[in-house]
Structure 1
Amino acid sequence: MNKNYSLLIESLFKRLQTIGVKTGTVYLDREFFNTDVIPKLDELKVNFVIAVKSTQVINRELKNHQKEYGNTSTIFEYQFQKGGPSFNVVAIYNDEKKKYLLFATNKKAESIEKFEKMIPEEYRKRWNIETGYRVKNEFKIRSCTKSPVARLLFFIIQCIMYNVLNMLKSVLKITAYELKSLINEDINKVVRYGLKSLNFIPVSVLLDCLRWVNEERNRVLRTRLTII
């Protein structure tokens, strides 16, 4: 079954507009580097950074660049078809991998140096989202229930646990597995000995403690840098 990427993008931005979400720049995987998505984004006047699938035209452009300038980064204008929207392909040479990292963008930059720094850093924001989904799934509550209320509740708990883990990671070295194990131990304590067996700390007090620890850590680091 073929995907209608143009309709998908149009529907997505209509929905975002309906719920009042403003869009700055969209970061998309290489699957969206095609003749449906980029013209639609251009039509909607949306800035984009998209990982690029290499094509014969792109490979030829890179080979010509390498012959003249060696293994250096470059930017060149590209369009899928005559009359279609043009955009920049940013080719950043990775010395470790010995290959080009390719991105398509309609964003403006004054020089290739700024593009080299800006585009990969911006695109890396996508990985934060994907990492979030991966880690969040470590708290997934498996259920066969078809109740939308129950499934929504499980999802909310999943998100809360992910946020708690991130909060604790600011001061502790802890994994999702360790956090779940501690929660399991506390549940067993409550079942056996009641709620009084737990040491309750108000959330506001916990947040104040975390804030103090982070501030103290920053103060110590600044002091060390001053000494150096």
Structure 2
Amino acid sequence: MVKPLVHSIKLSLFDRGFYSKELMLTLSNAGYPYLIFVPKNKKVQKELAQMVENEKKMINYQFKLNKDKTIIRGETTLAFLKQIFDKRNKKSFDWAFATNQSAIDMDYIVPTYKGRWRIETGFRVQDEAHITSKSKDARIRFFFFVYERVLQLLWVVLYKEEVSFKKFLLDLYELCVERNRKSE
């Protein structure tokens, strides 16, 4: 379904809730590269417990999927990173990922995965600017949609480093109220 629409996917990033043998098989068979955050189940915890701080290792994980009374075999690479220091939080974390990429840079796997968070933040930002309308007129709805995108673009280009998007919207609202009061 996606293949005709998308010509190249560099990497698909998934949260731990998507870690499943079926998804990994589907993506591998379709030729799509993936990086999935693996939940810290007992096997993952055992593997991480055997590692030392700042250690990074990859293992080939072969698995079986029972689907419709058929056993399907698959494989993925599991990447384990023990107590990696996060400068932003000033804490160390354990990480586990599944990937079908043959060449993976263990030094960039965590920053690459964190890119997924920026995508989610972008969607949340869009939701904050959402203007609701009961109008059934497509032109009005389209106008509001474009206006939302203009607000978001202004924030990204001019204010993103200074204030949050929500603060930007509230400040803009206050400015409009103040100017409206002065014009009366």
Same fold (TM over 0.5): yes
Which AA in structure 1 matches 2:147? I
- Contact 1:137–1:158 (CA<8 Å) still a contact in 2? no
- Give the 5 Å matches for 1:10-159: 11=1, 13-14=2-3, 17-18=4-5, 20-63=6-49, 66=50, 69-71=51-53, 72-81=55-64, 84-94=73-83, 99-109=93-103, 114-115=105-106, 117-145=107-135, 149-159=139-149
- Give the 5 Å matches for 1:124-203: 124-145=114-135, 149-169=139-159, 173-176=162-165, 177-183=167-173, 185-186=175-176, 189=179, 193=183
- Distance in 1, matches of 2:74 and 2:137, equals 46
Change (3 A) 1:98 1:188: closer
Which AA in structure 2 matches 1:169? Y
1:117-176 Cα deviation digits (max 9, x unpaired): 121121111111111112222212133445555444433322221111011126x72343
Specify which structure has the higher proportion of strand. Answer: 2
Q: Which runs of 5+ in 2 are unaligned?
A: 66-71, 86-90
TM-score w.r.t. the length of structure 2 is 0.74
Secondary structure, counterpart of 1:189 in structure 2: helix
Whichever of the two has the greater Rg, that structure is: 1
Which AA in structure 2 matches 1:189? R
Secondary structure, counterpart of 1:84 in structure 2: strand
Aligned length: 171
Q: How far apart are residue 86 of structure 1 and its match? A: 1.1
TM-score w.r.t. the length of structure 1 is 0.62
Give the superposed CA RMSD: 3.0
Which AA in structure 2 matches 1:94? Q
- Distance in 2, matches of 1:139 and 1:28, equals 26
Which AA in structure 2 matches 1:119? I
Q: How far apart are residue 25 of structure 1 and its match? A: 0.9
Which structure has more relative contact order (CA 8 Å, sep 6+)? It is 2
- Distance in 1, matches of 2:42 and 2:136, equals 49
Secondary structure, counterpart of 2:63 in structure 1: coil
Q: How far apart are residue 193 of structure 1 and its match? A: 4.0
Q: How far apart are residue 74 of structure 1 and its match? A: 2.0
How much identity, in percent, do the aligned residues show? 23
Change (3 A) 1:185 1:61: closer
Task: Name whichever of 173-182 and 161-170 sits farther off.
Answer: 173-182
Counterpart residue number, 2:68:
none
Q: Which runs of 5+ in 1 are unaligned?
A: 1-10, 195-228
Secondary structure, counterpart of 2:77 in structure 1: strand
Task: Name whichever of 178-187 and 47-56 sits farther off.
Answer: 178-187
- Distance in 1, matches of 2:36 and 2:141, equals 33
- Contact 2:13–2:36 (CA<8 Å) still a contact in 1? yes
